[in-house]
C-alpha cells in the first residue's frame, strides 16, 4: 500500500513470492477462492479458526501483540510486571505515538506509531487525516484517546466509508476546538506524565484518494467461511476492502487464509 501526492493510493497483494499491483486489475473480473486451510501468521501451524486476525489460539493467548491492551492502550500492565512479552513491549510500546484526527466516515480520533503514517490512515479508508499530538508511549496515547472519546468517535462506519459519501471536514478547526475543550484534561495528563510528555503538533491536514471506479449504493459483504469463492468485477479498493460488483470483502479479516487468485 502506498500513496503519492495527488494520486490514488496504490495497493499490492502478496501472492506467494509475487506481489500483484491490484490497481491494474480495476474493471477486470477476479476470482478469490479459499482452499479451506488457515495457518497462524506467527508460528505457521495449521489452525481451524483464526484468532486476532491471523493467529492460532496458543499464539493469541501468549503474544503481547494479541493482548487486550493493544486495542485499549490505557490498560497497559507493563509496570505491574505482567506484560506477556516485556522485550516486545519495550520495542513497540515505549516509543513516540501520535494522536490524530481523521475522516473516513466522519470525524474520528485515533492513535498510531510515528512510523505507521500514512499507512494507518490508508488502512482505514480515510479521505483526510491530521496529527494533533505526540506522546512518549502507547499507554499515554491511550489515555489521551480516552479523553477525546468523550467528544468524538474512535470508530469508522465501514458501510458509510465504502459508499464514498463522505463530506470533507475542516480538521484544523476541529483540532483547535477539541484542544480548547479538553485543555483541562490534557493539563491533568501533563501533570501526571510530565509537561513535555504530550506535545502539540502544528501540521497541515493530508488528503487521500482511492482507486474506485464506482462505489456501491448498497453494501453487502462476502464471507469466505460461508462461501469460499468470491468472484466479480473489481470496482475499487479502499482501506482493507476490495469492492466487487457482487459485494465487498475485508481482506484483513482473512489474514492467514490460504487463497488462490485468478483473473
Q: Are residues 147 and 173 in the same domain?
A: yes
Distance between CA atoms of residues 164 and 105, nearest Å: 8
Whether residues 108 and 203 fall in one domain: yes
Assess contact for 160 and 166: CB atoms under 8 A: yes
Asked if 194 and 245 sit in the same domain, the reply is no
Please tell me whether residues 22 and 90 are part of one structural domain: no
What average pLDDT score do residues 218-232 get?
96
Give the confidence band of 6 by pLDDT, cuts at 50, 70, 90: low
Distance CA 229, CA 63 (A): 31
pLDDT for the residue 4: 65
Q: Would you state the cell numbers that stand for residue 201, as one nine-digit string?
A: 503538533
Give residues with Cβ within 8 angstroms of 167, minimum separation 6.
none
- pTM given for the model: 0.93
Going through 50-171 in order, the beta strands assigned E by DSSP cover 97-103, 107-113, 128-135
- Does 181 reside within a domain? yes
Tell me the mean pLDDT in the region 175-188.
98
Q: What is the pLDDT of residues 23-77, one digit of tens each?
A: 999 999 999 999 999 999 999 999 999 999 999 999 999 999 999 999 999 999 9
Asked if 253 and 215 sit in the same domain, the reply is yes
Q: Does 111 score more than 70 pLDDT? A: yes
Model confidence at 163, in pLDDT bands (50, 70, 90)? Answer: very high
Name, in order, each residue with C-beta under 8 angstroms of 194's C-beta and a sequence gap of 6 or more.
none
Beta strands in the chain (DSSP E): 12-15, 18-21, 29-38, 97-103, 107-113, 128-135, 198-200, 206-207, 229-238, 241-244, 247-250, 257-262
pLDDT-derived band at 186, boundaries 50, 70, 90: very high
The angle subtended at Cα 251 by Cα 56 and Cα 227, nearest 5°, is 85
Cell of 167: 463530506
Q: Which of 3-17, 189-203, 223-237 has the lowest mean pLDDT?
A: 3-17
Indicate the pLDDT class of residue 3, thresholds 50, 70 and 90. low
Place of cell 501533570: 191
In this structure, are 87 and 129 located in the same domain? yes
| 58 inside domain | no
Between these two residues, 31 and 2, which has the higher pLDDT value?
31
Asked whether residue 233 falls in the same domain as residue 189, the answer is no
Task: Determine the Cα–Cα distance for residues 243 and 214; give it in Å rounded to an integer.
Answer: 9
Query: At which residue does the C-alpha cell 470533507 appear?
Result: 168
Q: Is 2 a member of any domain?
A: no
Three cell numbers written together for 165: 459519501
Residues 165 and 43 in one domain: no
Does residue 7 lie in a domain region? no
If you count them, how many residues does the chain have? 263
Let me know whether 144 and 249 are in one domain.
no
Task: Determine the pLDDT at residue 222.
Answer: 97
Q: What is the pLDDT of residue 216?
A: 96
Q: Does the pLDDT value for residue 107 go beyond 80?
A: yes
Nearest to 234 by CA among 218, 205, 213: 213
Q: Exposed (0-12), middle (13-18) or buried (19+): which is 5, by Cβ within 10 Å?
A: exposed
Q: Which residues contact 192 (CB under 8 A, 6 or more apart)?
A: none
C-beta separation of 201 from 98 below 8 A: yes
Can you give the residue range of the structural domain that contains 88?
Answer: 64-207
- Is the pLDDT assigned to residue 2 strictly greater than 70? no
pLDDT at residue 18 greater than cutoff 90:
no
- Residues 177 and 165 placed together within one structural domain of the fold: yes
Residues 179, 73 within the same domain = yes
**For residue 30, what pLDDT is reported?**
95
Say if residue 202's pLDDT is above 80: yes
Number of domains in the chain: 2
Q: Residue 4 domain-assigned?
A: no
pLDDT at 15: 74
Identify whether residues 16 and 146 lie together within a single domain: no
Model pLDDT, residue 5: 59
Amino acid at each position: 500500500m502506498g500513496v503519492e501526492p495527488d494520486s490514488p493510493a496504490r495497493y499490492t497483494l502478496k501472492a506467494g513470492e509475487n506481489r500483484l499491483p491490484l490497481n491494474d486489475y480495476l474493471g477486470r473480473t477476479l476470482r478469490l477462492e479459499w482452499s479451506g486451510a488457515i495457518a497462524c501468521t506467527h508460528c505457521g501451524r495449521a489452525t481451524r479458526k483464526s484468532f486476532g486476525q491471523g493467529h492460532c489460539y496458543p499464539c493469541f493467548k501468549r503474544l503481547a501483540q494479541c493482548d487486550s491492551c493493544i486495542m485499549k492502550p490505557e490498560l497497559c500492565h507493563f509496570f505491574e510486571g505482567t506484560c506477556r512479552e516485556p522485550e516486545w513491549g519495550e520495542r513497540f510500546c515505549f516509543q513516540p505515538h501520535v494522536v490524530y484526527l481523521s475522516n473516513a466516515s466522519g470525524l474520528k480520533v485515533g492513535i498510531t506509531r510515528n512510523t505507521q503514517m500514512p499507512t494507518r490512515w490508508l488502512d482505514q479508508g480515510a479521505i483526510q487525516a491530521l496529527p494533533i499530538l505526540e506522546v512518549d508511549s502507547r499507554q499515554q496515547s491511550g489515555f489521551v484517546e480516552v479523553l477525546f472519546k468523550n467528544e468524538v468517535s474512535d470508530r469508522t462506519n465501514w458501510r458509510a466509508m465504502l459508499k464514498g459519501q463522505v463530506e470533507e471536514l475542516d480538521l484544523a478547526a476541529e483540532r483547535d476546538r477539541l484542544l480548547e475543550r479538553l485543555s483541562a484534561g490534557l493539563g491533568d495528563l501533563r501533570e501526571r506524565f510530565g509537561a513535555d510528555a504530550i506535545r502539540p503538533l502544528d501540521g497541515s491536514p493530508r488528503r487521500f484518494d482511492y482507486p474506485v471506479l464506482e462505489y456501491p449504493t448498497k453494501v453487502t459483504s462476502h464471507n469466505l467461511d460461508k462461501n469460499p469463492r468470491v468472484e466479480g468485477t473489481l470496482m475499487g479498493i479502499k482501506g482493507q476492502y476490495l469492492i466487487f460488483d457482487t459485494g465487498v470483502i475485508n481482506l484483513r479479516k482473512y489474514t492467514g487464509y490460504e487463497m488462490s487468485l485468478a483473473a
